[in-house]
A and B are shown apart, each in its own frame.
Chain A
């Protein structure tokens, strides 16, 4: 399977995502430049962490207008898997592909540390290989990761089983401890923690692999279905 890793000017976890996929997951990965008007033959897209276009206005606010996001929108509408990590989550929220917004952390400071998470649903192409309620440890590294949405949206996310990951020890003030959510069609996921930074023992955790591995399983499953 081939992952496409989008590179915006200011992305700085693009290489980490590429390395996690190609070195630690054993799958193909290629970079997609921000002005690309098509995504080529990739099976899934990762929007990596960083500070796209400097994030001077509001995280992700400029990135949503980039040419590549037109293609990502179409890719998602056609059912393609899109994973937004950290800044990638912020961009997906700004683009309207996921509900809610990411505000400054409670405490107003950037926070970098490993955090424990709970898998809230395995009914998604990003967590199908995990166990319900499984505890995962991954690093966070963000200044604006406080997930905020109105009560109706939050209720709906929960009612539709679209909260994928929750913090066990909320590090940023996110509403209802939300660390990651799914789109309505469940093929787009955004999360603030960094699964790509938890993909080999030297990184201190391998818990991020289950997210990427689930995507591989989902794509393999889909291609079997298409083939039959």
Chain B
């Protein structure tokens, strides 16, 4: 092996030496390829693993934590849910439509390979600003790709979030969350158990697409990256739908011992991981692998990332029961090998051995790095750029409402089928998405959130704020947060100041997830999100799920006129320093500085307890948590319902009205009620501030401060810019 070949496989000289030591000889070319994908950052988590261990992963409800295809939570009544989030960032930049589509396909397979039927998808998207036409094309491609795959597969895309920043210009993020449901005693694992059992390949034929996808996802972007388009896989949601039905039906036969999807690193990853988990060996012969191209080499077959494929191990002698199901669905199912006792992945091609590596060496003995980390990188100053100019509340509010991050994302989510399977109780546009479980009378609330501006200012505190916001979203919907999944999107971990961001973010996440009792059950790490040496903001994305009884949910919009409007949690505090990460700073002042809003986790948790009790008691006619854009934006959004109701609000005098109206201090929820006394008394019980700030009224939003009127306008003046902004931006030429 020449150093060039080793480098082309993104292995260091030291890693190569470790391979030689493990094998006791030089690897073959096929073996080198196998090592390169299994030891890639994407598959091995070599830079993040020692830090991920700091995350809490257990609770009474966690049936399966990290390490499997997805985490599993007990939801009672004999049922469980499996869920996870995964990124498809690099492919989505190179080929937005297929990159995003196969991102959806990949995470869906992670869910149904465990035996769970997918019932919800959500996505967290990050793009560069839309005044650049390439970013508009990427957004349109990504959204169509997600719609194409999810809609055809028949899983509702029930929500998500979409944010725009300069730093995603050459590096968009596509993080897809999926959740499935099954009986808790019918869970399947990716284990190659039972020596002598047949190893069966099912689903799509193998082609040359996606070879080295995992290592591509573990490298920075350069000018040459677009030439990697052939590395992006092509998805077929119809085939995936058949694969889903066939797998779930085959699992019912009782003949399946273990099953794993072929995702990143394809046949390589599924064989060695299944063997490693069961402490067995796996022997396959590539001549039996269904192929859609001729003349494929063993290297290509092992490294292909063709989509919609599964590997399963069946009970010996019961193969026909499995084959019968796959025949019914018109899918290939072929025995390609068997489970052996020796712990070795042995790959043959027409009987001739082309690779022979210990499964453990591949799956568990990848190098683990404690990379040097210094102070988290930050480019933003601590102090604001000069004296802040006085604002104009009406103009500022409208500018915020039509800004990319805050404006309505209807243009995006109307392209997603969010009602298929008839479980969607709360779809896109709400604080949290809610899907019911028909079998148990339970519903699952899901919140997906990230705030990279906060994390750019302080990755530790920023990440804690994200966890707090997810849990606040769920609590506002009336759900009890129970578990989380995370997607860590960062730059190059070999840069100590980037590694420091990763470490601080994980530690903040650990602290907050511990405090809010939402253990991490799995997730994904996406590093090297850099283009031409420019890293993205640290962008951890959290997906947190909560449980609630199935019932109609509390809307975010005001429902009746003349109701008391209460700000639960109080007005909060803000100063120059803590204002620099807000949307106001971004949109109105075009700046980023200072620190993220201050979070008191104890207070935050008490706010959650209070709102859950208020919602459970049926006291809130509407409830909406404050986040981007602060109080003024939350009030406007609460006024965008079909009832056409705004509010007349009184705020106390303040040194700076912009701070009071637009600061993003956490732990706050705006609600409307016909029983203000009862709401206030629950708040008191939990030691939470609650202020009656006004009453709902028809058609207008008015904000007074003493005798001065800060804002008084027709709701349509606010709603139209909010509603039409994205479409106007996208359809410019």
Partner-B contacts on A (CB < 8 A): 9-10, 12-13, 15-16, 19-20, 49-51, 53-56, 109-113, 139, 141, 143, 194, 196-197, 199, 201-203
Q: How far is the CA of A20 from the CA of B423 in the complex (A)?
A: 12
- Taking the closest CB of chain A, its distance from the CB of B81, in whole angstroms, is 18
B241 touches A10 (CB 8 A): yes
Contact of B419 among A15, A55, A197 (CB under 8 A): A197
B422 contacts A20, C-beta separation under 8 Å: yes
Contact A12 B154 (CB under 8 A): yes
CA distance A202 to B550 in the complex (A): 9
Q: Do B414 and A111 touch (CB < 8 A)? A: yes
B147 at the interface (CB under 8 A from A): yes
Which residue of A51, A55, A56, A109 contacts B415 across the interface (Cβ within 8 Å)?
A109
Residue in A15, A56, A113, A199 whose beta carbon sits within 8 Å of that of B421 in the complex: A15
Residues in chain B near residue A202, CB distance under 8 A: 425, 436, 550, 552
User: Are B419 and A141 in touch, CB under 8 angstroms?
Assistant: yes
From A10, A111, A141, contact of B420 by CB (8 A): A141
Contact across chains for B151 and A197 when beta carbons are under 8 A apart: no
A110 touches B147 (CB 8 A): yes
| Known interface pairs A109-B415, A113-B414; A56-B422 also in contact (CB < 8 Å) | no
Contacts of B552 in A (CB 8 A): 201-202
Task: Tell whether, in the assembled complex, residue A112 and residue B416 are in contact, meaning their CB atoms are under 8 Å apart.
Answer: yes
Cα distance, A160 to B417, chains bound together (Å) = 34
- A13 to B423, alpha carbons, bound, how many Å? 12
B contact residues, range: 20 to 34
Tell me, in angstroms, the Cα distance from A139 to B422 when the chains sit together.
Answer: 11
A-B contacts besides A50-B154, A197-B420, 20 pairs, CB < 8 Å = A9-B241, A9-B330, A12-B241, A15-B421, A19-B422, A51-B151, A51-B152, A51-B238, A51-B241, A54-B152, A109-B415, A110-B147, A110-B416, A110-B417, A111-B415, A112-B415, A112-B417, A112-B418, A113-B414, A141-B419
User: Once the chains bind, are A194 and B419 in contact (CB under 8 Å)?
Assistant: yes
Shortest CB distance A110–B (Å) = 5
C-alpha spacing A83/B653, complex, angstroms: 63
A196 to B419, CA, bound (A): 11
Contact between B242 and A141, CB atoms less than 8 A apart? no
Which 4 pairs between the two chains have the least Cβ-Cβ distance? A12-B154, A54-B238, A141-B417, A51-B152
A12→B414 CA distance, assembly (Å): 18
Instruction: Return chain A residues, CB-CB under 8 Å to B236.
Output: 54
Give the residues in chain A near B242, CB-CB below 8 Å: 9-10
Given A13-B154, A141-B151, check contact A112 B238 (CB 8 Å). no
| Bound complex: CA A118 to CA B236 (Å) | 37
- Tell me the bound Cα distance from A107 to B420 in angstroms: 22
By a CB distance below 8 angstroms, the chain A residues around B144 are 109
Give A198 to B419 CA distance when docked, in angstroms. 10
Q: Does B153 contact A (CB under 8 A)?
A: yes
B79 at interface (Cβ–Cβ under 8 A)?
A: no
Any chain A CB within 8 A of the CB of B60? no
State in angstroms the CA–CA spacing of A112 and B552 once bound together. 21
Given contacts A19-B438, A56-B238, A110-B151, contact A12 B550 (CB under 8 A): no
Which residue of chain A has its CB nearest to the CB of B236? A54
Contact A12 B420 (CB under 8 A): yes
Closest Cβ of chain B to A133, distance in Å, is 22
Interface centre among A50, A55, A143, A202 (most CB of B within 10 A): A202
Interface string of B523-561 (1 = CB under 8 A from A): 000000000000000000000000000101000000000
B residues near A20, Cβ cutoff 8 Å:
422
Contacts of A112 in B (CB 8 A): 413-419
Confirm or deny: B329 has a beta carbon within 8 angstroms of a beta carbon on chain A: yes
Instruction: Pull 14 A–B residue pairs with CB atoms less than 8 Å apart, ordered by A.
Output: A9-B242, A10-B152, A10-B238, A16-B421, A19-B422, A20-B422, A51-B241, A54-B152, A54-B238, A111-B414, A112-B414, A112-B417, A141-B417, A203-B419
* A16–B422 CB distance below 8 A: yes
With both beta carbons as reference points, the residue of chain B lying nearest to A50 in the complex is identified as B154
B705 smallest CB distance to A (angstroms): 39
Cα A13 to Cα B241 in complex, Å, equals 12
In the assembled complex, the Cα of A50 lies from the Cα of B153 at a distance in Å of 8
Shortest distance from the beta carbon of A71 to any chain B beta carbon, whole Å: 19
Q: Are B154 and A9 in contact (CB under 8 A)?
A: no
Least Cβ–Cβ distance between B98 and chain A, in angstroms: 15
Q: What 1/0 mask marks residues of chain B from 601 to 616 whose CB sits below 8 Å from any chain A CB?
A: 0000000000000000
